Amino acid sequence: DVKVTQSSRYLVKRTGEKVFLECVQDMDHENMFWYRQDPGLGLRLIYFSYDVKMKEKGDIPEGYSVSREKKERFSLILESASTNQTSMYLCASRDRRVWFGYTFGSGTRLTVV
């Protein structure tokens, strides 16, 4: 089975810290995505990548950046964490050969204090 692994399930960081959220997939998927999940707002796309070193902004990229140096790893970076970035972050990858082939990680619940 395809696995999408997010390195931390829970994370607590201080305001102003630089935060890295890591996501690794093991099935050579080209597409990878970072979503933010908030109650009443659903999942909103932050950034996505369609290949190594290729990235595009999603709907809410402000305050975030991403890195994809290797195909299997897609990192979300909070340059200077703020309390309004307290949220659940979900990573996903997609097999381009399968139109419904999205696989999600188990999420990282980030609290910024």
Residues at the contact surface with other proteins, assessed by CB under 8 A = 31, 33, 35, 40-45, 48, 50, 56, 58, 88, 90, 92, 94, 96, 99-100, 102, 104, 106-107
Between CA 111 and CA 108 the distance in angstroms is: 10
C-beta of 69 vs 98, nearer to other proteins: 98
Do 13 and 111 form a contact (C-beta atoms < 8 A)? Answer: yes
Which amino acid makes up residue 17? E
| Residue 17 or 28 having the CB closest to other proteins | 28
Nearest approach in angstroms of CB 13 to other proteins is 19
User: Which residue's CB is nearer to other proteins, number 15 or number 106?
Assistant: 106
Alpha carbon distances (Å) from 65 to 2, 21, 39, 90, 101: 25, 11, 23, 15, 25
